[in-house]
Amino acid sequence: MNRRLLIVSALTAVLAAYLMIFPFQDSVPLRKAFTEFPFGYKGWSGNPGVLDDRSAEILKLSEYMLRGYSRDKDNVSIYIGYYGSQRGGSQIHSPKLCLPASGWAKVSEGTRSMDIDGLGKINLVQAVYQKEDRKEVFVYWYQMKGAYITDEYALRLHRFLNSVKYRRNDAAFVRLSAPVNGTVEDAVSTIEGFMKDFLPVLKDYLPE
């Protein structure tokens, strides 16, 4: 067991003891329902998607949004899984496990940041996956109380700190993807354009 895992295990034990003494806030609701999120905006046109029953059962989400957007020849899919409280087996699942389980093979992966007007710097994971003859760019991050997190261990640390400091551990997983029809750079540019348009809107939906 490495040092990082030992630290996480110790923090989890401390949190469990803490929550036995102090009350924990109930599930934190969205500020606005995802059903109000715009389908049409700045030239983008969206269509709703639905998770299959098996996925919904595994993920145990409080709320989610799954949509496909298009503008001219650009296409972007967005998935947001929201957890009002991460307890009782209801926790964020890492795409590093979910995507391969769905038949996607990782081609490349890295972390970077992007500046968004009105939000500042967004830390994100950028990865390329392939499934048979399909290749897609995936951009994702975990979001907890204004923090944009790219690492699963950091996610656990934020969950612990928020539980102790605020007695809440609500979190969202945000993932965007675009098919690679030309170059990877073209797909990345498509996702970045979508992020610049829609992330300032999304901040009115997720809790602060």
**Do the domain assignments include residue 207?**
no
For residue 181, name the pLDDT band (cuts at 50, 70, 90).
very high
Give the number of domains in the chain: 1
Burial classification of residue 179, based on how many CB atoms lie within 10 Å of its CB (0-12 exposed, 13-18 middle, 19 or more buried): middle
pLDDT computed for residue 75 by the predictor: 97
CB proximity list for 129: less than 8 A, separation 6 or greater: 99, 104, 105, 106, 107, 135, 136, 138
Structure tokens that stand for 193 in this block: 């354009």
Backbone phi and psi for residue 93, each to the nearest 5 degrees, phi listed first: -100, 135
Structure tokens that stand for 14 in this block: 């401390």
Q: Is the pLDDT of residue 104 over 70?
A: yes
**Do the domain assignments include residue 154?**
yes
Q: Is the pLDDT of residue 17 over 70?
A: no
**Do the domain assignments include residue 98?**
yes
**Do the domain assignments include residue 48?**
yes
| Average pLDDT score over residue span 148-153 | 92
**Do the domain assignments include residue 46?**
yes
| Average pLDDT score over residue span 113-121 | 93
| Average pLDDT score over residue span 127-153 | 94
Q: Is the pLDDT of residue 21 over 60?
A: no
**Do the domain assignments include residue 106?**
yes
Report the amino acid identity of residue 141: W
Q: Which domain holds residue 63?
A: 3-202
Q: Is the pLDDT of residue 13 over 80?
A: no
Report the amino acid identity of residue 95: P
Between the alpha carbon of residue 132 and those of residues 57, 71, 181, 185, the distances in Å are 27, 26, 14, 20
Question: Are 191 and 139 in contact, with CB atoms under 8 Å apart?
Answer: yes
**Do the domain assignments include residue 18?**
yes
| Average pLDDT score over residue span 141-163 | 89
Structure tokens that stand for 164 in this block: 């102790």
